Amino acid sequence: MKIIICDKTEQEYIEQMRAAGLTVDVRDDITPEQLMTELPNYDGMVVRSRTKVRKDLIDKCPNLKVIVRGGVGLDTIDHEYAEEKGIAVMNTPRASSASVAELTIGYLLMLARSLHKVSASMKANKWEKKSFTGDEIGGKTLGIIGYGNIGKEVAKRAALLGMKTLIYDTKAKAGPEAAPVTLDELLVQSDYITLHVPRTEISANMIGAAQFAKMKDGVRIVNCARGGIVNEDALYEALTSGKVAGAALDVFNEEPPTDWKLIQHENVIASPHIGAATKEAQARIGAEVAERLIAFARK
């Protein structure tokens, strides 16, 4: 089986695939135009967030048998269409869960203590000790929207920090650290809200002006899931009015953004979609990609 690696993958696991008899070409700088021409020569492909696999590309590749996305979610792939064409589509849903959960918890702590502002003040040679009275997150209510692999890892960590955890998820059942509620109940009761759902037609803009209006004054929001789940214009207005005291965002409607207004808001912490960007997660992703491809080739 001939495989093309379209995005960065750990070399150790590329060698594992080759040792198992797969022919592997690493093209982690390939452009969309080049991929359209070259992908028909391959039986399988490995992608991350950079490479998009849409219907027009799929239609060019009658020999394609498998697509593996290293990461959580399949929003960069027209996976239902691919599966209709007989192409197996896989991802690595658990490999980066701990890394994204840790980033989420880190953001909760940063928002509670305004650490981004404190650090900026110190770097400006200021000693504003009395200007930064924050909050403890222990005893506060965390609303988790989406109780899959990442949501569960966040709930575990939040419970250890003494937070009361509510969850909203249309499919998952309650866990030992979390109580299931309706979305409206979560919005009304939460001091902090974090999102861990894929972006779909249903979840797109699920948090907008109407949802912000139901939240507590001074709520804080973390989104390490996907851009477009939180309406960015509505979030900016909620931040400007003070309804939302702070937001931490790892994902955006456009990546990289073309409009930086929201990111530049003084009460926003932002990062360039780094939820899975840890050495440990990258190793687990590479290992799972190799495992899935080798197993598929041996069927």
pLDDT at 93: 83
202-220 mean pLDDT: 97
> Per-residue confidence at 192, pLDDT binned at 50, 70, 90?
very high
Residues 125, 175: contact at Cβ < 8 Å? no
Tracing tokens 């996976």 back to the chain, one arrives at 79
Active-site positions? 226, 255, 273
Looking at residue 35, what DSSP letter applies?
H
Residues 298, 66: contact at Cβ < 8 Å? no
Looking at 3.30.420.40, 3.90.180.10, 3.40.50.720, 3.40.50.10480, the CATH number of the domain 97-270 comes to 3.40.50.720
**Secondary structure element (H or E) that encloses residue 297, with its range:** helix 279-297
Tracing tokens 């070259």 back to the chain, one arrives at 38
Phi and psi at 244, nearest 5°, equal -100, 120
pLDDT digits (tens, 9 = 90+) for 20-29: 999 999 999 9
Residues 138, 192: contact at Cβ < 8 Å? no
Residues 143, 193: contact at Cβ < 8 Å? yes
- Fold exhibited by the domain 2-95+279-297: Rossmann fold (3.40.50)
Phi and psi at 246, nearest 5°, equal -170, 150
Nearest to 68 by CA among 299, 290, 297: 290
The yes-or-no verdict on residue 172 having pLDDT over 80 is: no
What b/e readout covers 35-68, taking b as 16+ CB neighbours within 10 angstroms?
beebbeebbbbbbbbebebeeebbeebeebbbbb
Q: How far apart are the C-alpha atoms of 89 and 74, rounded to whole Å?
A: 9
Q: What is the mean pLDDT of the chain?
A: 94
Round the CA-based radius of gyration of the chain to a whole number and report it: 21
Residue 245, CA distances (Å) to 3, 82, 216 in order: 48, 42, 10
The yes-or-no verdict on residue 68 having pLDDT over 90 is: yes
**Does 2-95+279-297 match 97-270 in CATH topology?**
yes
pTM: 0.89
Q: Where are the chain's structural domains?
A: 2-95+279-297, 97-270
